Structure 1
Amino acid sequence: MSDSHELVELPIIDLPIIDAPAASSHPKQRLPKWLKRNVPKGNANHFTQELLEELKLETVCDSAKCPNRMECYSQKTATFMILGNICTRACSFCSVPRGKPEELSSDEPERLAEAAFRLGLKHVVITSVTRDDLPDGGAQHYIRCIEAVRERTGATVEVLTPDFIHSKESLDKIIVDASPDVFNHNTETVPRLYKRVRGPKSEYAWTLGLLKRVKALNPKVKTKSGLMLGLGETHEEVFAVLEDLRANDVDFLTLGQYLQPDEQRFLPVDRYIPPEEFEMLGRKSKELGFKQVASGPFVRSSYHARDMAEAY
């Protein structure tokens, strides 16, 4: 599984989608004790929430029901979600609403930059819904947001992008024209589960090629990817993916526990991975050559992203 892949225009392969297991075959499991958290005290989380509402900004923290939302908000940080709050994909793990998106908001870059300035952020993480309806997938809007943040704050910028599978030139635009400090695109799961988890439009080989292409365009940009665990993958499958990521020069890695957003519409949790297993996977990942690894039940793509970026 360690072959490298060039970013080429791949056809959407018509493979049968593996149906999600019936709810009856996966009875609801109680959350283990290591997945229970205390609500942070203080009013800083209210400040962040009210600022986001004032500036009419979306965050993946809210839209994806992130378990770290209160912690991050209490530390006056958030992962901004641009291009609206409606996704054109229907991934079976993500609670971001899907449907027909609205038109782009032309002043969103300035509003995002203002929020980053007022929060005092030194490292800004920008993600988005997938916009297959846009000719460039939203690439030019990403560039405008990166430029606005840098001009207003001087902060480093990390982007967590969709796959741009319908517009291969979009990646080049973002990397060449805006040169983010960190480029993140999540692998999410192992190849065997790809169609079931990410849907029929996603391609594992495309994901690897996208990450490799960043380094070819600009070796100074740090690349990052992450996996959700607990969907039925094996250790052997996980390590094969990690080897593929390293073969394609990925610098940073995140490993976290998948949590089912809703019992009716999303894939069930196959297994809750204990913290000591995450620690083992983190050690093995470092041995494979990842420069920074965050591995734990509550780790998400942008969790403590500034610490990871600054540590290397």
Structure 2
Amino acid sequence: MSEKTEHVRKPDWLKIKLNTNESYTGLKKMMREKNLHTVCEEARCPNIHECWAVRKTATFMILGDTCTRGCRFCAVKTGLPTELDLDEPERVADSVEQMGLKHVVITAVARDDLKDGGSNVFAETVRAVRRRNPLCTIEVLPSDMMGLEENLKTLMEARPNILNHNIETVRRLTKKVRARAKYDRSLQFLSYSKELHPDIPTKSSLMIGLGETAEEIEEVMDDLRANDVDIMTIGQYLQPTKKHLPVIKYYTPDEFQQFKELAMSKGFKHCEAGPLVRSSYHADEQVDKAQVWKEAAKYQSEQQFSS
């Protein structure tokens, strides 16, 4: 198929139901008032109305709104980032508290301009959210932070409930799709996080529709399991603008179900797969609630001891 001359028509099952209730409009208003960013908006996620309006979950994007990488699938703007906003962690924590969020995902633009990759602000945001919202589950979704182990260690010391790092695409297409990222480095990143804290689940996401084969999709599953990844999500790639990579194929809901069954057969503890599934889709259902209470009790105990 020629990417330049052929256009694949978007199927009916990708139609999105909008919901702009008070939860949605309230969260949107708060983001603007507190000068915060969400990947839900910046990356044009198709599930924003469901997550904000119904499930009361959100994905905050910290470290600014400008990424140092220019991945050909991503709508987040690329350029020279601004200085770090050291008050951002507390504003995120305050927003989580005011909205009564049950689950929060904290992601960030890639900050290859920083020696620590932004890991210190990342970790402080996790700690700030937990201080203010001890029963809210916290998932982190960092870049590979250039594969530096000390950066991942800094982040993991804050003990998020889930460490999520996206493989994004199959090995063959990585160079074409992801700027500066490396397939094996992502696998090593996920593996090292498990070495640091074996009790913290790891997660990764794959988008399909960029020209990969079924065999390559299965290879990604095998590679993730070989590195002890617990949770996998699989979703349809959607071209955000004409400047981004075109869609080569739209997979059917039945095909996604087959991929889900295959993933579960390989030993993943959980797999979300569907046309509109994104990395944070139904993320609140993927957390061990017992772990949440354990982390809350641990934090409260530490607070009492320190006082």
> Do they superpose with TM above 0.5?
yes
> Counterpart in 2 of 1:162?
143
* In structure 1, C-alpha distance between the alignment counterparts of 2:289 and 2:213, rounded to whole Å: 30
The alpha carbon displacement at 1:172 in A equals 1.2
Give the Cα–Cα distance (whole angstroms) in 1 for the partners of residues 6 and 23 of structure 2. 38
Residue type of the alignment partner of 1:187: I
Partner of 1:269: 247
Alignment correspondent of 2:128? 148
Whose relative contact order is higher, 1 or 2, with alpha carbons under 8 Å and at least 6 apart? 1
> Residue 4 of structure 2 aligns to a residue in which SS?
helix
Q: Does residue 1:42 correspond to 2:25, yes or no?
A: no
Q: Is 1:303 matched up with 2:281?
A: yes
Question: How many angstroms apart in 2 are the aligned matches of 1:100 and 1:194?
Answer: 23
Partners of 1:119 and 1:153 lie apart in 2 by 11
Equivalence map 1:112-123=2 (5 Å): 112-123=92-103
| Correspondence for 2:155 | 174
* Contact 1:230-1:258 within 8 A present in 2 as well: yes
Structure 1 counterpart of 2:154, which letter?
A: K
Q: Hey, what's the Cα distance between the residues in 2 that align with 1:220 and 1:156? A: 15
Task: Answer yes or no: is 1:235 the counterpart of 2:214.
Answer: yes
- Once superposed, which parts of structure 1, at least 4 consecutive aligned residues long, lie more than 4 Å away? none
Q: Assess if the C-alpha contact under 8 Å between 1:135 and 1:167 holds in 2.
A: no
SS at match of 2:76: coil
Distance (Å, rounded) in 1 between the aligned partners of 2:116 and 2:2:
37
CA shift, 1:52, in A, is: 1.1
Partner of 1:93 in structure 2? Answer: 73
- Once residues 303 and 221 of structure 1 are traced to their aligned partners in structure 2, the CA distance between those partners, rounded to angstroms, is 19
Q: Which amino acid aligns with 2:63?
A: L
User: Could you tell me how far apart the structure 2 residues matched to 1:41 and 1:85 are?
Assistant: 24
1:96-154 CA-partner distances (Å, limit 9, x unpaired): 00000000111100000011111112322100000000110000001110000000001
Tell whether 2:271 aligns with 1:293.
yes
How far residue 64 of structure 1 moved from its aligned partner, in angstroms, is: 0.3
Matched, 1:226 2:182: no
More helix by share: 2
Aligned mates of 2:254, 2:147 — CA distance in 1? 40
Alignment CA distance shift 1:309-1:166 (3 Å): closer
From 130, 134, 152, give the equivalent of 2:114: 134
Secondary structure at 2:81's aligned position in 1? coil
Distance 1:118 1:164, change over 3 A: same
Given candidates 49, 59, 63, the residue that maps to 2:42 is 63
Tell me, what secondary structure is at the counterpart of 1:24?
coil
Q: What secondary structure, in the 3-state scheme, does the structure 2 residue paired with 1:239 have?
A: helix
Confirm whether residue 30 of structure 1 aligns to residue 9 of structure 2.
yes
SS of corresponding position for 1:246: helix
SS of the aligned residue for 1:178 comes to: coil
Asked whether the 8 Å contact 1:132–1:166 carries over to 2, the reply is no
Encode CA deviations 1:159-180: one digit per residue, 9 max, x unaligned.
00101116331011111x2111
2-structure distance, mates of 1:227, 1:47: 31
Aligned to 2:296: none
User: Compared with structure 1, are the counterparts of its residues 22 and 104 closer, same or farther at alpha carbon in structure 2 (3 Å cutoff)?
Assistant: farther
Aligned residues: 288
What is the TM-score when the length of structure 2 is the normalising length? 0.91
Distance 1:232 1:295 in 2: 18
Q: Secondary structure at the match of 1:80?
A: strand
Quick one: percent identity of the two aligned structures?
47
The amino acid of 1:268's aligned partner reads P
Instruction: Tell me if structure 1 keeps the 8 A contact 2:149–2:192.
Output: no
Once the two structures are superposed, the pairs formed by residues 100-111 of structure 1 within 5 Å of their partners are 100-111=80-91
| 1:266 aligned partner, one-letter code | H
- SS state at 1:294 partner: strand
> Aligned residue for 1:51?
30
Contact in 2 for aligned 1:57/1:112 (Cα 8 Å): yes
Task: Check 1:103–1:41 CA distance in 2 against 1; reply closer, same or farther (3 A cut).
Answer: closer
Structure 2 spans left out of the alignment, 5+ residues = 291-307
